[in-house]
Structure 1
Amino acid sequence: MQEPLAFRMRPQKIEEIIGQKHLIGEGNVLRKCLAAKRIFSMIFYGPPGTGKTTLAMVLANELELPYRLFNAVTGNKKELEQIFAEARLYPGLILIVDEVHRLNKDKQDLLLPHVENGNITLIGATTSNPLHAINPAIRSRCHLFEVKALSQTDIEEALCKALQSPKGLNNEITIEEDALHIISRHSNGDIRYALNILEICAIASDGCISKALVEQFSQIPNMSMDSDGDGYYDVLSGFQKSIRGSDVDAALYYLGIMIEANDMDSIERRLLVTAYEDIGLGNPAAVARCVQAIDAAKRVGFPEGRIPLAMAIIDLCLSPKSKSAESAIDAAMSVLRHTSYKVPDYLRFTPVNMKEEDQYDYNRSDIWNQIQYLPDALKDIQFYHPQMNSSYEKVLAQNLEKLRKVKRSSNLAALKKKR
């Protein structure tokens, strides 16, 4: 059985690697490591199909060092122990760990001493952000290097090499220029995805890969929306920040990605949070309309659900913004996390041994706005600060200004004497 094209085209030497000039270009860090014939434990992180594992293997080959591959998900402790035994014979053995962020604690406990004393040189590969996903004990022993998504030009260079190489299609297949551009655009920087599309199109072609053929096998661009990876969170982040920044076109773009992924749950959660957090009191009516739009979208489902969602996005993007509610509750919670304050006795649900004139009076609505509700230590603190971005919150601010001019008191007996 013939190996896949992407596997056959995997680079063996540093000069064969496409892209990643920030790491392997002349004068850059990994090129200098090769020149000095030194290698350190490191973690490569970046999107799928960008050559993280390949880069690790090429470094080992260039330095003529033995290496072993280990998958953090499927590999077991017995395999690790065999590798450690081999490392005693070959100090500095390179261990390339795919999905390194998934190493469980048992495997980490086995691995760490060998990395610490240099018997093993660890090169990890992950699609996750190592600052969030990698255990600090592993991370502190490794250098972190980002492996970036390839550009469309890089992808086209890789495709042309695959078409010409004896290891690839050996000049037996040609491709139309438009077809080449479509594959490179749809691959989203993932060289493995691009080569897989090229291979299936080559099999289906009559010797020339046409634009129509590529469109048949690559109808939807490759999108980074794996819910376990950083691409997923990057899309959500771009979505919320676009709404916050009032960029309606960008927000619709990110919404489209989530719709293509059929991810209604993420759309609902992120849209609700964004509406209340970023628009908030700037336009409460738009927030309410957003809730209604989400309900409508869930009722009709996709593809029709995209319409009410798009309406909500446009509404929120072009609405006045106010984060005053979020800022207010965060300020209040910041205070209570540092010190605990007792609720004033007259506000307690069942006050004990308190004179009637000192108790809260449910029938005296005329004095409610004069009572001090905060503990004495916080009586003058202000958590809510209006943002004057909308006529609605300006009205709230005017009301607040009047209320704050009232001198509040904890002496309920004295307040009750006022008429």
Structure 2
Amino acid sequence: MQNEPLAYRMRPHKLDEIAGQQDIIGVNTPLYKMILNGHVPSMLLYGEPGIGKTSLAYAIAGTSNLPFIALNATRSGKKEIEEVVNESRMTGKVLLFLDEIHRFNKLQQDTLLPHVENGSIVLIGATTENPFHDVNPAIRSRCGEIKQLKRLTADDLLTLIKRALTDNKRGLGRQTIQISQEQQMKIADSSNGDARKALTLLESVVSASDEEDGVTIIDDALLQNLVDRIGVFGDKKGSHFYNLLSALQKSVRGSDVNAAMYYLAHLLENGDLVAVSRRLLVMAYEDIGVANPSVGPHVLASIQAAERLGLPEARIPLASAVVEMCLSEKSNSAYKAIDAAIASIHAGKVGEIPSHLKDTHYVGAATLGHEGYVYPHNTPIGSFGGWANQTYLPDNLLKSKFYKPVLAGEEKKLAGIYEKLESFKQKKK
């Protein structure tokens, strides 16, 4: 057993050994009480890597004493599922833990789902992806519980580290290790809420440390070197990556520079410069818009500079763009207007293009009635330029209003012009 990784050896055997997730499996939660009373519901566990999905499944199995089988959806086929079904027929009920359940294929489903439905197989599925996006509805409908696990706190990880250091059977308790409270806390703080990462880091630093008179002494410099090699949590293109993009945009929209910097840093550490740049450019027009029209070109210039520089230097122009967007006046009027127009079309609100707006660049256009267009540049109005009081929308849509100005930044001036022109239109009778 000692040849197995520390993180594997330290998996909890009972629910009371779970660190963190108290809102899901704490002693006062319905799920905890159900399992203690002998009822284990089928469920989906959703969350980032290393936060306890597998551990929770093993702890449920240990507490319930049900026959337990663990499979991975990427490596299991119909044969393995049939073996689970056969086991359930012999024992009456089986607890199946299926990791990466979002990879479940139709053949596996067809074999397994009837038995999950009749209760002979209790299914615990784990996924790093949003189950409402990536898990088949047939699976979701048969899982009475969908639980989103959260990243562990530093205190939760510290509890696990201390348990691993003192456990004589599964942990490192048989070794004499000189490790300070500060060093333990550094491991916890550096692991980004990932229990597997914390225990792997602890095991690595212990294995790499020197012994003196039978005592393993943890060196600060060695620990720092290993900490620096830890990657940022979150898989590129996984749910967490898209959550980071969402959090970045919402922080910019909310004008919180510090939060925006935090999420930008995480995204850049994941290394996907293209996805980050694309989202920043969308934000410039969606959230800043015509309140500050200069931001769009500024962000585009920052993105182009970032592409030429590459990471890590690309972070500098992108950070400048994010600061400018955070502190800029904001308006979503333009994007709301185009969405309203698209929604109108989808709702069937369409009409005939007015004849005077139709193409006239061919012989016979006048015969078809395509005439009467007034060239606005020929009729200047004050310092605005050319404007002509003529209709542009189809007759049955003349009262449609898609654009609703926001009185922010430069758009205040545009809103004034818009209202003035609308008042001019009312004079045409």
Q: TM-score, normalised by structure 2?
A: 0.90
Give the 5 Å matches for 1:172-191: 172-191=176-195
Map of 2:397 onto structure 1: 378
* Alpha-carbon offset, residue 11 of structure 1: 1.2
Q: Provide the C-alpha distance between the structure 1 equivalents of 2:259 and 2:113, rounded to a whole number of angstroms.
A: 44
Map of 2:85 onto structure 1: 84
1:144 match: secondary structure: strand
Instruction: Specify whether residues 159 and 344 from structure 1 end up closer, same or farther in structure 2 by C-alpha distance, changes over 3 A only.
Output: same
From 132, 151, 154, give the equivalent of 1:152.
Answer: 154
Is contact 1:112-1:138 (8 Å) kept?
yes
Give the 5 Å matches for 1:5-404: 5-142=6-143, 143-166=145-168, 167-170=170-173, 171-206=175-210, 207-219=216-228, 222-344=231-353, 346=355, 347-349=357-359, 355=366, 358-361=369-372, 364-365=375-376, 366=378, 369-390=388-409, 392-404=410-422
Instruction: Specify whether residues 211 and 27 from structure 1 end up closer, same or farther in structure 2 by C-alpha distance, changes over 3 A only.
Output: same
Is contact 2:251-2:259 (8 Å) kept?
yes
> Which deviates more, 213-222 or 110-119?
213-222
* Alpha-carbon offset, residue 361 of structure 1: 5.0
* Alpha-carbon offset, residue 223 of structure 1: 2.7
Instruction: Specify whether residues 200 and 376 from structure 1 end up closer, same or farther in structure 2 by C-alpha distance, changes over 3 A only.
Output: same
Q: Provide the C-alpha distance between the structure 2 equivalents of 1:233 and 1:50, rounded to a whole number of angstroms.
A: 18
Is contact 2:152-2:193 (8 Å) kept?
yes
Per-residue deviation, residues 213-238 of structure 1 (Å, max 9, x unmatched): 21111105553331242211121111
Q: Provide the C-alpha distance between the structure 2 equivalents of 1:305 and 1:355, rounded to a whole number of angstroms.
A: 57
Instruction: Specify whether residues 162 and 378 from structure 1 end up closer, same or farther in structure 2 by C-alpha distance, changes over 3 A only.
Output: same
Q: Provide the C-alpha distance between the structure 2 equivalents of 1:297 and 1:304, rounded to a whole number of angstroms.
A: 7
* Alpha-carbon offset, residue 343 of structure 1: 3.0
Instruction: Specify whether residues 225 and 54 from structure 1 end up closer, same or farther in structure 2 by C-alpha distance, changes over 3 A only.
Output: closer
Q: Provide the C-alpha distance between the structure 2 equivalents of 1:360 and 1:371, rounded to a whole number of angstroms.
A: 13
Paired positions, count: 410
Q: Provide the C-alpha distance between the structure 2 equivalents of 1:205 and 1:285, rounded to a whole number of angstroms.
A: 56
Q: Which runs of 5+ in 1 are unaligned?
A: none
* Alpha-carbon offset, residue 364 of structure 1: 3.6
Q: Provide the C-alpha distance between the structure 1 equivalents of 2:80 and 2:426, rounded to a whole number of angstroms.
A: 71
* Alpha-carbon offset, residue 26 of structure 1: 2.1
Quote the sequence identity (%): 43
Q: Provide the C-alpha distance between the structure 1 equivalents of 2:207 and 2:20, rounded to a whole number of angstroms.
A: 27
Instruction: Specify whether residues 175 and 362 from structure 1 end up closer, same or farther in structure 2 by C-alpha distance, changes over 3 A only.
Output: same
Instruction: Specify whether residues 253 and 221 from structure 1 end up closer, same or farther in structure 2 by C-alpha distance, changes over 3 A only.
Output: farther
Per-residue deviation, residues 152-180 of structure 1 (Å, max 9, x unmatched): 01101110111111121124222122221
* Alpha-carbon offset, residue 196 of structure 1: 0.3
Q: Provide the C-alpha distance between the structure 2 equivalents of 1:17 and 1:393, rounded to a whole number of angstroms.
A: 54
* Alpha-carbon offset, residue 27 of structure 1: 2.4
Q: Provide the C-alpha distance between the structure 2 equivalents of 1:123 and 1:26, rounded to a whole number of angstroms.
A: 20
Q: TM-score, normalised by structure 1?
A: 0.92
Map of 2:384 onto structure 1: none
Q: Provide the C-alpha distance between the structure 2 equivalents of 1:369 and 1:122, rounded to a whole number of angstroms.
A: 69
Q: Provide the C-alpha distance between the structure 2 equivalents of 1:222 and 1:323, rounded to a whole number of angstroms.
A: 36
Q: Provide the C-alpha distance between the structure 2 equivalents of 1:195 and 1:11, rounded to a whole number of angstroms.
A: 13
* Alpha-carbon offset, residue 352 of structure 1: 11
Q: Provide the C-alpha distance between the structure 2 equivalents of 1:202 and 1:144, rounded to a whole number of angstroms.
A: 38
Per-residue deviation, residues 262-300 of structure 1 (Å, max 9, x unmatched): 221121111001111000111111221110011011111
User: What's the RMSD between the two structures over aligned residues?
Assistant: 2.3
Q: Provide the C-alpha distance between the structure 1 equivalents of 2:162 and 2:129, rounded to a whole number of angstroms.
A: 30
Instruction: Specify whether residues 239 and 160 from structure 1 end up closer, same or farther in structure 2 by C-alpha distance, changes over 3 A only.
Output: same
1:284 match: secondary structure: coil
- Structure 1 counterpart of 2:155, one-letter code: T
1:173 match: secondary structure: strand
- Structure 1 counterpart of 2:399, one-letter code: D
Is contact 1:186-1:222 (8 Å) kept?
no
Q: Provide the C-alpha distance between the structure 1 equivalents of 2:368 and 2:271, rounded to a whole number of angstroms.
A: 62
> Which deviates more, 103-112 or 343-352?
343-352
> Which deviates more, 364-373 or 23-32?
364-373
